[in-house]
Amino acid sequence: MSSLSKDLDKLTYEEIEEAFKTYNDDKEQIEVIKKAYEFALEKHMGQYRKSGEAYIYHPMNVALILTSIYADYETISAGFLHDVLEDCDCTAEEMEAEFGSTITKLVQGVTKLSKIHFSTENEYLIEYYKKIIVGMSEDVRVIIIKLADRLHNMRTLWAIPEEKQKEKSHEALEILAPIADHLGIHKIKSELEDLSLRYLKPDVFYDIAEKLNKTKIERDKTVYDMQQEVSDLLNDYHIPHEIKGRAKSIYSIYNKLDKGKKFSDIYDLSALRIIVDTEQECYLALGIIHSKFRPLPRRFKDYIAMPKPNMYQSLHTTVFGIDGYFFEIQIRTHEMDEIAENGIASHWSYKENGGSDKAANLTNTTEQKLQFFKSIIDLSRDKMSSEDFVNSVKDEVLNNNIYCFTPKGDVIELPKGATPLDFAYKIHSKVGETTVGVIVNNSIVPLDYELQNNDIVKINTNKNSTPSKEWLNIVKTTQARNKIKNFFTKNEREVYIERGKYSLEKELRKRKLVFSEFFSDENIKKICEAINCENLEEIYLTVGNGKTTPNGVINVIEKKDEAVVPKSIKTIPKNIDADIIVSGIDKVKVNLANCCNPVFGDEIIGYITKGNGISVHRMNCHNLENMDDRTIDVTWNNNNNKRYLTVLMIYTKTSDNHMVDLIQSISMININIEGVKTISRDNITYELSCYVTGIEQLDKLILAIKKNSFVEKVERAFR
Ligand code: MN
């Protein structure tokens, strides 16, 4: 079906080298190509494709496709190497040492593109994916390698499941074939289209193929006769020329059928291409042909005077030919033909080969790139000059927006300066709302990190987590800002209710009261009366929004103020400097025991040491069990603002390492971590040391840790 097809089993390196030599025989360049082949061969050793053949046949075929569009030696070498960084044990450094930075950069570019997953769900995205491919490929040769890569994958598509076949075909048809067209690489464009059609609409594809086949012999004879007539005519006028009969691609026929035409009505099923030496001869030939064969009205197109954006040039006409057949005739010069078939890429090799004169005009690399940029963008629907348009697109793609990726390779477009929270909200509001941490390119970053182009962003979420109002100062997109605001107006009440319930539970636990018993119907009634509420939910709400304290609620039922308010606190003069008040003693050396690490707010007790002042322990520290006679009452000084070391044992349900998630969840609530150790390896246990302001923050910390689904339980450590 295509001149590019190649019997996989029989493809050898020598054939690829021969193909290159037909347009370039530079010995040094061939050496590099060969080296790239050998390098890839070694690196892919032992790897196989889904189709069953050795992996190396894939890069070899890609290289062969690249020779068919006269790609330069660097492009072909990169074609051989294009999957090595992704799939093999090879670093960019190693490749650069062997092949230099140009080839390595090409391979890196292809690798980068291959990580992106382009879904083709709507038209807007398709336009935008094209822009991304263009915007991300600093060197247009990257795109060309990508096209060759995809073409070979499409040829071997039968090896993958049907659903994937359709997905790949859509992507090829809607994104890659148009890019090939923009770049003027007709060969690749048209084969991609035909292959896609074969998988997307097999019945249509085979129906057209069969009809073409049936009429082939007759058409072949007519085409041959017509070719003779036209050739004789041009010879009469002494115009040197070459004539090719031309098969229309199945896809182009499908396109016309799809627009409602009948198969028998498609007049340019038979087509001729006339290739002459000069532009003037093109017009001359056209005139001569029209004088003999009557042209169809409105079918004449002059793409020489007005080239297509991809620099395609040619004259098109349709005439009533012999035997009553219509013929579509294209007339162009050799060079125009070259560009039409292979794109401008083909000129690079000509340049190095000291080839055609016109091609030599394109020696400046920057100029070539600009030409490519121009060619990529379809100018027809825009009135701007090509340069302005290119600049504006580049600006839009490269300056105002950044493109970041999910770990799966989905593209997320964001304005410059956007943060991971913007990214998270762009994926889904649920993702945004439950964000607890971010990893960019494998490193942890803060939520206000400024995302860079091409960052790979992993958002860690926790289904129990909710947005913070501070986020409003962090996010850059209105979309995210509105969603956060929305959350608060909608959910503030819920959040407060939850918070109030939590504080009440905590306080009841502290007083050794059972939650369900405490909130009996009778008690709820009493509390509601006392603090002016309607129901239990409102009780939670008043506590959660700070209108009442948990003690205020509990004390309605349990008149035991003394249990929480230390007896001595009012009677003892406060030593403002000290964080511990020892009853009856003003100045004494006090230190916090490091076996149980009490923090502000813990129930504590002092132990009178021999010669080292008073050591303060938590009330339930096992080291105190047999020391009753030397203990002394101590209380916290409410005025202190110290931070206290606390050590937590975190038991997990899994042997997977969640250190990163753990640290993420802790840093989210603004707590300084002193250290984390992994204790057991089976179900991992972490020993976490950090500083907290007191029991309230410690409770928050424990809660935050418990929200991680992998956590089994959290305990404060005793030694
Ligand atoms: Mn590949």
Give me the CATH number covering residue 257.
3.30.460.10
Regarding whether 177 and 29 lie in a shared domain, the answer is yes
Higher pLDDT, 262 or 365: 262
- For residue 208, count other CB atoms closer than 10 A to its CB: 22
pLDDT the model gives residue 141: 84
* Cα-to-centroid distance, 178 and ligand 1 (Å): 20
The most confident of the ranges 274-288, 327-341, 369-383, 487-501 is 274-288
Residue range 55-74: mean pLDDT, rounded: 92
86 labelled catalytic: yes
pLDDT score recorded for residue 383: 35
Last residue of a domain, one of 143, 175, 200: 200
660 and 575: one domain? no
Residue 500 covered by a domain: yes
For the chain, the average pLDDT equals 79
What pLDDT score was predicted for residue 34? 96
Query: Which of the listed ranges 23-37, 253-267, 313-327, 359-373 does the model predict with the highest average pLDDT?
Result: 23-37
Task: Determine which one of 87, 341, 494, 603 is catalytic.
Answer: 87
DSSP 8-state assignment for residue 624 = G
Whole-structure pTM value: 0.50
- Edge-to-edge strands, sheet with 443-445: 443-445, 435-440, 457-461
* Alpha-helical runs (H) found in 271-356: 279-292, 334-342, 345-352
Dist. CA 625–CA 206, nearest whole Å: 88
Strand partners, 689: 647, 675
643-701 residue pLDDT tens = 888 989 888 888 777 777 787 777 777 777 777 777 776 778 888 888 888 888 888 88
pLDDT at position 645 is 86
Give the mean model confidence (pLDDT) for residues 500-527.
87
More confident residue, 325 or 288: 288
Q: According to the model, what pLDDT value does residue 638 have? A: 72
Indicate whether 138 belongs to any domain.
yes
- CA 143 to ligand 1 center in whole angstroms: 13
Question: What pLDDT digit, counting tens, does each position of 447-500 carry?
Answer: 999 998 778 899 998 878 888 888 998 998 888 888 888 887 766 677 778 888
Q: Looking at 17, 26, 86, 98, which residue is catalytic?
A: 86
Pairing of strands 270-276, 301-302: unpaired
Question: 196 and 83: one domain?
Answer: yes
Q: How far is the CA of 114 from the centre of ligand 1 (A)?
A: 8
What is the total count of domains within the chain?
5
Predicted confidence band of residue 378 (pLDDT cuts 50, 70, 90) = very low
CA dist 627 and 479 (Å) reads 62
- What pLDDT shows up at residue 101? 92
Q: Which CATH number goes with the domain that contains 105?
A: 1.10.3210.10
What DSSP state is assigned to residue 569? G
Query: What are the structure tokens assigned to 344, written together?
Result: 């401008």
| pLDDT, mean of residues 364-371 | 42
Query: According to the model, what pLDDT value does residue 424 have?
Result: 94
Residue length of the chain: 719
Give the residue-averaged pLDDT of 561-567.
40
Q: How far is the C-alpha of 40 from the C-alpha of 664, rounded, in Å?
A: 40
The answer, yes or no, to whether residue 358 has pLDDT greater than 80, is no
Sign for the CA dihedral angle at 337, 338, 341, 343 comes to negative
Residue 225 lies in a domain: yes
Q: Report which secondary-structure segment, H or E, holds 318.
A: strand 315-320
Residue 2 confidence class, pLDDT cut points 50, 70, 90:
very low
What per-residue confidence (pLDDT) applies to 574? 41
Q: Is residue 273 domain-shared with residue 168, that is, in the same domain?
A: no
Residue 572 has pLDDT above 60, yes or no: no
pLDDT of residue 3: 39
**Choice among 102-111, 334-343, 434-443, 584-593 with the minimum mean pLDDT:** 584-593
**369 in a structural domain:** no
Rounded Cα distance between 181 and 309, Å, is 10
- 517 has pLDDT over 50: yes
207-255 pLDDT per residue, tens: 888 887 777 777 778 888 888 999 999 999 999 999 987 767 788 888 8
Asked whether 162 and 149 are in contact (CB, 8 A), the reply is no
Helix, strand and coil in the chain, % to nearest 5: 50, 15, 30
List residues, by chain if needed, whose CB lies under 5 Å from ion ligand 1.
83, 149
Higher per-residue pLDDT: 643 or 19: 19
Cα 519 to Cα 508: distance, rounded to the nearest angstrom: 10
Are both 485 and 543 inside the same structural domain? yes
**In this structure, are 513 and 530 located in the same domain?**
yes
Q: Looking at the structure, do residues 689 and 634 belong to the same domain, yes or no?
A: no
Give the Å distance between the CA of 59 and the centre of ligand 1: 6
CA of 58 to the centre of ligand 1 (A): 7
Give the model's confidence band at 9: pLDDT under 50 very low, under 70 low, under 90 confident, else very high: low
Same domain, 228 and 103: no
- 147 alpha carbon to ligand 1 midpoint, in Å? 10
Of 570, 598, 628, which residue is a domain's last?
570
What does the pLDDT read at residue 605? 83
Domain residues for the domain of 522 are 477-570
Residue 513's CB is within 10 A of a number of other CB atoms, namely: 17
Query: Which CATH number does the domain housing residue 648 bear?
Result: 3.30.70.260
90 falls within a domain: yes
User: Do 253 and 132 share a domain, yes or no?
Assistant: no
First to last CA, the chain: 78
**Is 533 part of any domain?**
yes
Q: What is the DSSP letter of 365?
A: H
Report the separation in Å between the CA atom of 84 and the middle of ligand 1, taken as the mean of its atom positions.
9
Q: Could you tell me the sign of the dihedral formed by the alpha carbons of 92, 96, 97, 99, in that order?
A: positive
Clarify whether residues 564 and 577 are in a common domain: no
Co-location of 162 and 240 in the same domain: no
Please identify, among 594, 615, 641, the residue that sits at the C-terminal boundary of a domain: 641
Residues 18 and 139 in one domain: yes
Q: Which of 301-310, 331-340, 421-430, 583-592 has the lowest average pLDDT?
A: 583-592
Q: What average pLDDT score do residues 531-548 get?
A: 84
Residue 87 falls in the annotated catalytic set: yes
Weakest-pLDDT range from 48-52, 110-114, 141-145, 681-685: 681-685
Question: What local confidence, expressed as pLDDT, does residue 371 receive?
Answer: 47
Within-domain flag for 662: yes
For residue 82, how far is its CA from the centre of ligand 1 (angstroms)? 6
Is position 284 within any domain?
yes
